């Protein structure tokens, strides 16, 4: 599989989202998915301390036992674990990393990301604590998630002025049906050489190819949950069907288009997608094999217009 860079890290262009580990998947099923990913060339595993209330990290660490050096582990901190464990204060950063290292059963985290901005803590303080972790060898690269272009710029200026570790990546929502990063974040990434990691690349499942306009969501799928009914709008379904037709006219699947479109941007380091079984891992890994041309991208913009 093709590799791209996140700072000093060499990552596969398809990454494994680990939010199903410890929730929809037990330890045995997690191991099957992790091993299937590694066998397909997927080396980036993206988790967080809050996924499964810590179980995702625990199950991922167990699955990688004996294969740790084959993987690039990315995890996150900052979202509430409970009333005491939350945020980006330096004291908590130091506690959170030790907790994640213990659950993962490893001596280093390859990419340590702040999960969301913390308005109660100056970003300079958080960056200082993260820089200490890099210098101590507990973390190789640092990143962020859900940051705006202005927040990225401010953090980069502070890190640059101090000669400290800077964010090597930002992870925000981005897909064919959610193009908001094009309003500033992607340009900031290009300016600074920051890798972009799209989450929800399949638009919460709408771009997997499982759903069809005029038909109820298949039982057991994510969008069959009544709580997610709002995502199944006529507007989104119409655009999804137009994208499906675009892919089919070229002998491809909608899933392949979702990956190929994101990877057409060099600033995208890896497309992170979850899986609950090895067959989904194989489909995601195979989807990265389509390269879109300039004409293809123009045709797609006519279906799903860029923002602004």
Residues marked as catalytic: 51
**How many residues can be counted in the chain?**
308
CA-nearest of 265, 283, 131, 281 to 197 is: 265
Distance from C-alpha of 4 to C-alpha of 266, rounded to nearest angstrom:
9
Distance between CA atoms of residues 50 and 130, nearest Å: 19
Whole-angstrom distance, CA of residue 285 vs CA of residue 108? 26
**Closest C-alpha among 29, 12, 20, 42 to residue 274:** 20
Of 106, 111, 33, the residue nearest 65 (C-alpha):
106
Of 158, 146, 48, nearest to 103 (Cα)?
A: 48
């Amino acid at each position: 599989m093709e590799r791209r860079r996140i700072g000093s890290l060499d990552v596969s262009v398809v990454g494994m989202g680990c939010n199903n580990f410890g929730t929809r998947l037990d330890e045995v099923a997690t191991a099957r998915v992790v091993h299937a990913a590694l066998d397909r060339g997927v080396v980036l595993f993206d988790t967080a301390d809050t996924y499964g209330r810590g179980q995702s990290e625990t199950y991922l660490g167990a699955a990688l036992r004996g294969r740790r050096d084959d993987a690039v582990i990315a995890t996150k901190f900052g979202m509430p674990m409970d009333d005491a464990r939350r945020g980006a204060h330096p004291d908590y950063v130091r506690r959170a990393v030790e907790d994640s290292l213990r659950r993962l059963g490893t001596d280093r985290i390859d990419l340590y990301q702040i999960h969301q901005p913390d308005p109660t803590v100056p970003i300079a303080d958080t960056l200082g604590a993260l820089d200490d972790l890099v210098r101590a060898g507990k973390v190789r690269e640092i990143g962020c998630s859900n940051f705006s272009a202005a927040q990225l710029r401010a953090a980069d200026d502070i890190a640059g002025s101090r000669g400290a570790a800077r964010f090597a990546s930002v992870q925000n929502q981005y897909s064919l049906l959610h193009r908001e990063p094009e309003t500033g974040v992607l340009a900031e990434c290009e300016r600074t050489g920051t890798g972009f990691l799209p989450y929800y690349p399949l638009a919460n499942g709408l771009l997997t190819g499982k759903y069809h306009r005029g038909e109820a969501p298949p039982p057991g799928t994510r969008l069959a949950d009544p709580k997610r009914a709002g995502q199944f709008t006529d507007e989104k379904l119409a655009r999804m069907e137009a994208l499906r037709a675009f892919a089919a006219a070229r002998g491809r699947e909608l899933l392949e288009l979702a990956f190929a479109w994101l990877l057409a941007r060099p600033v995208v380091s890896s497309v992170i997608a979850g899986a609950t079984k090895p067959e989904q891992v194989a489909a995601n890994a195979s989807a990265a094999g389509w390269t879109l041309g300039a004409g293809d991208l123009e045709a797609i913009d006519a279906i799903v217009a860029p923002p602004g």
